[in-house]
Structure 1
Amino acid sequence: MTNDELAKLFRPGSVHKRLYTDKDIFDLEMNRIYGQAWIYVGHQSQVPRPGDYHATRIGDQDVVMVRGSDGQVSVLYNRCPHKGAKLVTEGDGCAGKFFRCPYHAWTFKLDGTHMSLPLRAGLEGTCYSADNPDFSMKRLARVDQYRGFVFASQSASGPDLREFLGGSASTIDNLCDRSPVGEVEVAGGVFRVMQQSNWKVFYENLHDTMHAPATHESSVVAAREQSKAIGDMPFELLIQEGNGEPWSFWEALELRAYPYGHGYMEGIFDPNAAEKDAVTKAHQASLIAAHGAERAREIMGMNRHNTIIYGSGSPHNVFQQFRVIRPIAVDRTLIEIQVFRCKEAPQAVFDRALVYANLINSPSSNVMPDDVELYRRCQEGNSTRGGDWVSQHRYLGTDKSMPDGGAVSINGTSELPMRNQMAAWRHYMLGDDVSPEQEAAWTGRTPLSTAGAQA
């Protein structure tokens, strides 16, 4: 598919449904987006000791995050250079002092460097050498971490990690700062959900405030009925009932867009909960003891619901989650929900994070299945001949451009986040073929700068 053909899949405020259904486009995305951008691999706490590994995916590539004997974290392609076998299975484990291929017992240091193999004499007179990089596990081009969150890029060029994260890094900062010692760790297990839809649908839905009252009506009604029956609105019901706010509430929320497709949505729960909620009050007290009252109020006062790191997923600072989004096929997306413990914060803070994950994000929750069902319906509907274009018109042309190349909405029901994500998509997929005039016509606002939107 040529760039000219790709460019024709955009109209002002809308995109062609092929972006969600075309396998050839999906294959290009794995190369031009996931082969270029910084992608979240995992958290350092998942590999606490030398030899510990976390096997996962970046786009369509199997990779391994591993803690080396020197304490450094590397990310390697999960492939033995002999016959191509995957060295370790998906998930977490410990390789010990070195990797050993289960097929022919080739061994590799924890940084991927070739160590040895059985019957080396059989390779005399060939190109085989322990120093030949063709016989070592291949490393990803770049690996970096931000406050323990490990990202990797398959491209040797592009912005550094901090430039790439931009304003979205402040959500990671706040998630970590909610620990009195500024550190978090993955704990409590990881939910995994296979969704029958394209990966971009989930990103768009994360900041789609218009869907909440309709899609989640059943869980809102159930929460309110149960609350009425017991005469109270406990946390377990409150977080389900929150989707039922009136339209005026959603219109008042702030949506912020950053370069590279990132952004955040203002929080939907009471930012002054510390005055009313025992868990939040205890949490704030632990931060006051560590940092003083002013800094504690500043940390607890950052009220964001969903943050998007485009290509990686959605960290949630208030309830210490990270929904990791892994594309599997054009119509299959794997979601991993990681829960974080704020080190030295009250145990009740972690317990509440687990409750939130179970009741909102788990496969058996009352909320997430609503979304998963609608994602599937979008995938199936866009596979029919019932129309070709997907609308992203809400408040088109009203977004306020920001000096950092991003934008802020004038209304919380704006489809600014979707347009911003697609602007990043265009730059990844088309590169320099996107003109400022095309950008302005399609998004309805001042275009992202080339430096701020390309990787």
Structure 2
Amino acid sequence: MTLSDELIASLVRPDSVHKRVYTDPHIFELEMERIYGQAWIYVGHESQVKQTGDYHTTRIGNQDVIMVRASDGNIHVVYNRCPHKGAKVVPDGDGTAGKFFRCPYHAWTFKLDGTHLSAPLRNGLHNTCFDPKHPDFSMRKVARVAHYRGFVFASQSHDGPDLATFLNGVASSIDNLCDRSPVGEVEVAGGVFRVQQRSNWKVFYENLHDTMHAPVTHESSASSARAQADQIGSMPFELLILEGNGEPYEFWEKLELRAYENGHGYMEGIFDPSAATRDPVAAEHFASLSQVHGETRAREIMGMNRHNTVIYGSGSPHTVFQQFRVIRPLSVDRTLVEIQLFRLKGAPESVFERALVYANAINSPSSNVMPDDVEVYARCQQGNQTNGGDWISMHRYAGTDREVENGMVSTNGTSELPMRNQFAAWKRFMVGQAGSGKGIE
């Protein structure tokens, strides 16, 4: 099915979008080509491939890829495909290839950068067009790979902005996540949650900065947390992070929302940063940073209070509780979310333990929060399949967004600025104008 640029552009208005952007499988296939085939996408962290031969499998859009540490110490990203019969070279997950990749089907082998190494009984390939030096007989590399503070991104396009330009203002969220370590480094640690959602991938990005939903969708978990706190006479951390979603609208209206080009942005944090010297765990963390940087810099680091950051196409790093929710589209109505947890090198172990508590209480499939979101995402997908209407409203505070350096800022914390910004970027990617420097339309 051919979709013209004019038709695609018509699906996005300044204050609304057509439901086809969530439900049309042909549009989904174009997204895999025009967004995930062009943008910088997070593929993993360097700590996941510490030694030569270590690999981590993931996806860039609908493409299975391998992030691997080669013998020269560099990290490469190659497509998970043997050029002989097309078999996946390694299974999904993390592992060690050793000194080279070996296809499990016919034992073709490849260097860790994907270059052809050998094939059994090569004499049977004489007098043919087989040339081991030809790229057709090697595992194909992803066009570009770049790192930012240990976070590895890849782009399937040889063209386009470099990684730092693409990230724009949200690079500061990655900086802050790393700076929370006294030595400025983090590593993936603990378990990884994986949740498959029955909804389009774009719904998750919108919800990350949707402050209007929190007291409604999460009403039961917030009220239950308050009731239990009243019963025991205190509000421990495990209940506090559940109760935080139940703040009144006046609270959410005061939060700041930032939007940057390419669909990125962040939402101001919902927990009080002044607790850095009051809460025992935070105080211990503050002391470890102060010992290295001094109290002034330590306060700056811990005072950067961001709840969710959106790196459009990749997912959402959370600086305060050191995690990265990696968002992978599977089909027009299926999305895989992988929650990676990070340890701050050199920080007290209690900081990591608290992050584990947060991940289990908020992000796990068995938590009281994640299932609420997964349910309403599915309902959005189901409702948009009906004949009940064609357009999705994104009208809240439209036309009031203020332009600031490198982006836009909301005038009200319940603004739908982030959604409008994401679809402005979506439209530019889909009609070939990504990286044009145009702002929200």
- Normalised by the shorter chain, which TM-score bucket? over 0.9
Alignment root-mean-square deviation, CA = 1.1
Shift of 1:189: 1.4
C-alpha distance 282-452 of structure 1, shift in aligned 2 (>3 A) = farther
- Alignment counterpart, residue 295 of structure 2, candidates 293, 296, 306: 293
Looking at structure 1, the residues matched to 220 and 310 of structure 2 have their Cα atoms a distance apart, in angstroms, of: 26
Q: Deviations over 1:55-96 (max 9, x none)?
A: 110000000000000110000000000000000111100000
Looking at structure 1, the residues matched to 204 and 423 of structure 2 have their Cα atoms a distance apart, in angstroms, of: 13
Q: Which has the higher mean CA deviation after the structures are superposed, 127-136 or 203-212?
A: 127-136
Secondary structure class of the residue paired with 2:250? helix
Is 1:450 the counterpart of 2:414? The answer is no
Secondary structure class of the residue paired with 1:6? helix
Q: Tell me the equivalent position of 2:24.
A: 22
Which structure 2 residue ranges, 5 or more long, are not aligned? none
Taking structure 2 as the reference length, the TM-score comes to 0.98
Q: Tell me the equivalent position of 2:428.
A: 427
Is this contact kept in 2: 1:260–1:453, CA < 8 A? no
Q: Percent identity?
A: 72
Looking at structure 2, the residues matched to 67 and 274 of structure 1 have their Cα atoms a distance apart, in angstroms, of: 38
- Alignment counterpart, residue 65 of structure 1, candidates 60, 64, 67: 67
- Partner amino acid, structure 2, of 1:34: Y
Looking at structure 2, the residues matched to 56 and 313 of structure 1 have their Cα atoms a distance apart, in angstroms, of: 13
Q: Tell me the equivalent position of 2:336.
A: 334
Q: Tell me the equivalent position of 1:446.
A: none
Looking at structure 2, the residues matched to 334 and 387 of structure 1 have their Cα atoms a distance apart, in angstroms, of: 27
- Partner amino acid, structure 2, of 1:427: R
Looking at structure 1, the residues matched to 51 and 438 of structure 2 have their Cα atoms a distance apart, in angstroms, of: 37
Q: Deviations over 1:9-30 (max 9, x none)?
A: 1233110000000000000000
Matches within 5 A, 1:348-387: 348-387=350-389
Is this contact kept in 1: 2:12–2:423, CA < 8 A? no
Looking at structure 1, the residues matched to 280 and 245 of structure 2 have their Cα atoms a distance apart, in angstroms, of: 23
Is this contact kept in 2: 1:427–1:453, CA < 8 A? no
Q: Deviations over 1:153-202 (max 9, x none)?
A: 00000000000011100000000000000000000011000000000000
Q: Deviations over 1:345-376 (max 9, x none)?
A: 00000000000000001111110100000000
Looking at structure 1, the residues matched to 202 and 13 of structure 2 have their Cα atoms a distance apart, in angstroms, of: 18
Is this contact kept in 2: 1:40–1:151, CA < 8 A? yes
Q: Deviations over 1:414-453 (max 9, x none)?
A: 0000000000000000124x9xxxxxxxxxxxxxx82367
Taking structure 1 as the reference length, the TM-score comes to 0.95
Q: Tell me the equivalent position of 2:142.
A: 140
Shift of 1:298: 0.6
- Alignment counterpart, residue 124 of structure 1, candidates 116, 123, 126: 126
Q: Deviations over 1:375-408 (max 9, x none)?
A: 000000000011100000000000001232x200
Which structure 1 residue ranges, 5 or more long, are not aligned? 435-448
Looking at structure 2, the residues matched to 321 and 370 of structure 1 have their Cα atoms a distance apart, in angstroms, of: 20
Secondary structure class of the residue paired with 2:432? helix
Q: Tell me the equivalent position of 1:412.
A: 413
Is this contact kept in 2: 1:180–1:343, CA < 8 A? yes
Q: Deviations over 1:199-231 (max 9, x none)?
A: 000000000000000000000011000000100
Q: Tell me the equivalent position of 2:156.
A: 154
Looking at structure 1, the residues matched to 63 and 22 of structure 2 have their Cα atoms a distance apart, in angstroms, of: 20
Secondary structure class of the residue paired with 2:159? coil
Could you list the runs of 4 or more consecutive aligned residues of structure 1 that deviate by over 6 angstroms after TM superposition? none
Matches within 5 A, 1:93-132: 93-132=95-134
